[in-house]
């Protein structure tokens, strides 16, 4: 494991509260402090769109683009029927909504596991792994998700 990946894991281990976003049955953990608000899918204005978004939500006097991602974090052009919630993510630099099937908070900090060497890529959205109720979850951040969306926007124009 290289130094940058090790440093990212150490930073994540300092976080005490995570939320679990379920996308197509896959569990993605994000720092709970990065969730600014939880919005209804009915609040998404589908007329207000930027490339690859499914609409936008008006919050705190601004339009926040909303994205739909698959369980493998591929950008979807529409909302799957399974989506039920729209957390608004904000890390101070990146702001957007991400529709998910389910959102829950963890009662206690999970025990994060380092990525195997074959998964420890600097540009990967996956920064750590965690075992939740005998299921594997992936840990990411708003920054990593925003970078993933930006790469998709750049490559698809």
The pTM of the full predicted model, rounded to 2 decimals, is 0.90
Q: How confident is the model over 14-67, as pLDDT tens digits?
A: 998 999 999 999 999 999 999 999 999 999 999 998 989 999 999 999 999 999
Residue ranges per domain, the chain?
3-152
Rounded CA-CA distance 41/83 in Å is: 8
List the one residue out of 148, 143, 139, 92 whose CA is nearest residue 120. 139
pLDDT on residue 120: 78
Q: How confident is the model over 127-138, as pLDDT tens digits?
A: 999 999 899 999
Average pLDDT, the chain: 91
Rounded CA-CA distance 129/114 in Å is: 6
Q: Which two tokens stand for residue 98?
A: 């991400």
The CB density around residue 63, as the number of other CB atoms within 10 Å, is: 16
Collect all residues with Cβ–Cβ distance below 8 Å to 116 and sequence separation of at least 6.
Answer: none
Measured distance between the N- and C-terminal CA atoms of the chain, rounded to whole angstroms: 34
Under CATH, to which class is 3-152 assigned? mainly beta
| Residue 4 pLDDT > 80 | no
| Residue 157 pLDDT > 70 | no
pLDDT on residue 92: 93
pLDDT on residue 118: 82
pLDDT on residue 48: 95
Give the mean model confidence (pLDDT) for residues 83-98.
96
Give the mean model confidence (pLDDT) for residues 76-98.
95
pLDDT on residue 122: 73
Rounded CA-CA distance 52/66 in Å is: 9
Residue with token string 């792994």: 129
């Amino acid at each position: 494991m290289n130094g940058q990946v090790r440093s990212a894991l150490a930073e994540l281990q300092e976080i005490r509260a995570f939320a679990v976003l379920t996308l197509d049955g896959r569990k993605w953990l994000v720092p709970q402090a990065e969730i600014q608000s939880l919005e209804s899918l009915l609040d998404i204005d589908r007329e207000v769109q930027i490339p690859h978004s499914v609409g936008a939500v008006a919050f705190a006097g601004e339009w926040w683009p909303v994205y739909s991602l698959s369980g493998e974090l591929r950008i979807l052009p529409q909302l799957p029927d399974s989506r039920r919630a729209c957390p608004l993510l904000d890390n101070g630099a990146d702001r957007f909504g991400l529709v998910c099937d389910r959102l829950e908070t963890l009662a206690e900090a999970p025990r994060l596991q380092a990525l195997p060497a074959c998964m420890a890529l600097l540009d990967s959205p996956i920064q750590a792994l965690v075992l939740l109720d005998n299921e594997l979850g992936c840990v990411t951040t708003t920054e990593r998700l925003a970078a993933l969306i930006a790469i998709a926007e750049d490559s698809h124009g």
